[in-house]
Structure 1
Amino acid sequence: MTGQVDVLVVGGAGVDTIVYVPELPLPYADSYSIDSGIRTRAGQTGDFVALGLTKLGLDTHHLDVLGDDPEGDLVRALHREHGIGLTAIPQPAGTKRAVNLVGPDGRRLSLYDTSRAHPGDRFPEETLRTLAAASRHVHVAITQPGAHALPTLLATGVPLSTDLHDWDGENPYHQPFADAADVVFVSAAALADPERTMRRIAERGRAEVVVATAGAEGAYLLADGELTRVPPVAPPAPVVDSNGAGDAFAAAFLYGRLTGEPPERCALFGAVAGAYACTVPATRADAMDREALVEQVAEASL
């Protein structure tokens, strides 16, 4: 990487195998026939955030560990295809992978192979510091070795964001990420009281903005101490898959933030991009481009 980039995405690279199932939860049976096929493609949370940012016109670089394996080759090819800068640190355990079961209504159940990551995994200190210092913003995935990267990233003074995904508000693993980030995204799915958790994040850490996404119900936005509801945006096509919707929301929100938009407008960007993501089959790695985002935000604002 040479010169300054807009966003450095740290962690979250990997490969998913997508299986469309007749229902979720899936009842026990000896076997199922999957007429839609079983497909493996590159793209986990960091990949999708990097892709979303790039499609929106932001210069993006991705740092993570990758194995010397077919799955790692898929991740490298995805970045080459979309012009996303990639610094891949060798991972002897192999590239992270998961199996996503997707129901007819687009809901997803993910099975993560945790054998591909270890608590002691770390990025080279100098590599991390150099990449972060050359970036306007850093988005940190909660995968290892992101946790070890937080002190170095904080020392650079570069603004940070993170996505806590389906955090329950209690699991201590997520807390350092919540405390370190200036912008925190979290799913409301496992939160008994989203507002309470959001305010606690803001009070404990550095967060200027906290967003809790709530799927078809929209989202909650906490900014400047005020909690507001972000209404849902109607998807532009039938909903087929919720995979990647949160990553799309985060990417579009960050696009708005880095282009000087107020939090409420950023949240609208996120809602529009998240709705679009739900219309994209999980077997494809795709994201909304800037022209489509601006057009649909204008329509949603009428």
Structure 2
Amino acid sequence: MNSPRVFVAGPATWNSIVVLDRLPDPVPHMQFAEETWETIGGTSAGKALSLAAAGVDAVLYALVGDDEAGHWIQDALAAAGVPVLWGESTQTERHLNLMTRGGERVSLYLASPSEQSGGVPEDVRAAIKGSEVVVLDLAAEPRRLLPVAAELGRRVWVDVHDYDGANEFHRPFLDAADAVFCNADKLSDPLAFLRSRVKAGTSFAVCTLGAEGAVAVDAAGEIFRVPAVPVDVVDTNGAGDGFFAGVLAATLDGALLPHALAAGAASASAVLRSRHLHPLLDPVLRQA
């Protein structure tokens, strides 16, 4: 395999989506689902799909088990044209996502991948070494790769999602990052957080704001904002990953931050039109 421009490591999962009129109250009761379906999940799979759609030479590294869910994920990503380096796990990660039409979500983890031991696989190390950007998502195996990316001098991009400003699991990812992405769900002052990451040495930091678009701070401290692209939303899963991938693809093409943010918003809008992580999966998972 030729060295990819982008190496992405992290979750590729099999998800059951249940759409409700409201998230369940924490009391015994009964609710009726408005809609349900099965699909691929995982923040890293979402980024890899959007990068593939943008024509970026990227490879995903993810863990799956030798089970039905793992086979479904492998077959679907192959059919969607996403190159993947597969690591072995005792079981495939599976989630049950309770959703509302407005994008609220409760994720129940039904199964988690097994922890890896021993040395980093040589094909993984080679892919990291040959890449321009290494994307390491929040999971145990990408965390194990942080020292490898540092040793090989690769630029690391991270997405800390709904970081609250204090969770220690996120710390090594933030410390290694050349670019930081997050959302505003648990941050009382997103701009202050973005400025703190730039002050710590990142090239830029971005916070997505849902329907309000996104805000970013560059190394000079300048603030940039981009509105969300208006779209009839089918499903919100993966929109943040699409935004991340759009910014990355544009940056690799030499775009300045304001233009890269606009590309991110356009990429996210494509994801919002599909009930899967990306429209590339629509023909693949039509019956799911």
Residue identity matched to 1:8: F
Q: Are 2:178 and 1:186 equivalent residues in the alignment? A: no
Matches within 5 A, 1:19-34: 19-26=18-25, 28=27, 30-34=29-33
Q: Which residue of 2 aligns with 1:256?
A: 250
1:118 to 1:80, Cα distance in 2 relative to 1, 3 A: closer
Does the Cα contact within 8 Å between 2:47 and 2:241 map onto a contact in 1?
yes
Q: 2:277 aligns with which of 279, 282, 285?
A: 285
1:243-280 per-residue CA deviation (whole Å, 9 max, x = no partner) reads: 11100000100000111100111111112222332232
Q: 1:171 aligns with which of 161, 167, 174?
A: 167
Q: Which residue of 2 aligns with 1:88?
A: 86
Q: Are 2:227 and 1:232 equivalent residues in the alignment? A: yes
Does the Cα contact within 8 Å between 1:66 and 1:89 map onto a contact in 2?
yes
1:275 to 1:212, Cα distance in 2 relative to 1, 3 A: same
Residue identity matched to 1:78: A
Gaps of 5+ in 2: 281-288
Shift of 1:178: 1.0
C-alpha RMSD over aligned residues: 2.0
1:26 to 1:56, Cα distance in 2 relative to 1, 3 A: farther
Q: TM-score, normalization: structure 2? A: 0.90
Shift of 1:201: 1.8
1:116-145 per-residue CA deviation (whole Å, 9 max, x = no partner) reads: 145666772533321111222211111111
Does the Cα contact within 8 Å between 1:122 and 1:149 map onto a contact in 2?
no
Q: 2:37 aligns with which of 36, 39, 46?
A: 39
Q: Secondary structure at the match of 1:269?
A: helix
Does the Cα contact within 8 Å between 1:48 and 1:244 map onto a contact in 2?
yes
Q: Which residue of 1 aligns with 2:52?
A: 54
1:123 to 1:174, Cα distance in 2 relative to 1, 3 A: farther
Identity %: 29
Q: Which residue of 2 aligns with 1:212?
A: 207
Q: TM-score, normalization: structure 1? A: 0.86
Does the Cα contact within 8 Å between 1:164 and 1:184 map onto a contact in 2?
yes
Count residues with an aligned counterpart.
280
Q: Are 2:197 and 1:201 equivalent residues in the alignment? A: yes
Residue identity matched to 1:213: T
Gaps of 5+ in 1: 289-302
Q: Which residue of 2 aligns with 1:69?
A: 67
1:122 to 1:273, Cα distance in 2 relative to 1, 3 A: farther
Shift of 1:198: 1.4
Q: Distance in 2 between matches of 1:264 and 1:19?
A: 36
Shift of 1:42: 1.6
Does the Cα contact within 8 Å between 1:7 and 1:60 map onto a contact in 2?
yes
Q: 2:217 aligns with which of 222, 229, 241?
A: 222
Does the Cα contact within 8 Å between 1:11 and 1:143 map onto a contact in 2?
yes
1:111 to 1:227, Cα distance in 2 relative to 1, 3 A: farther
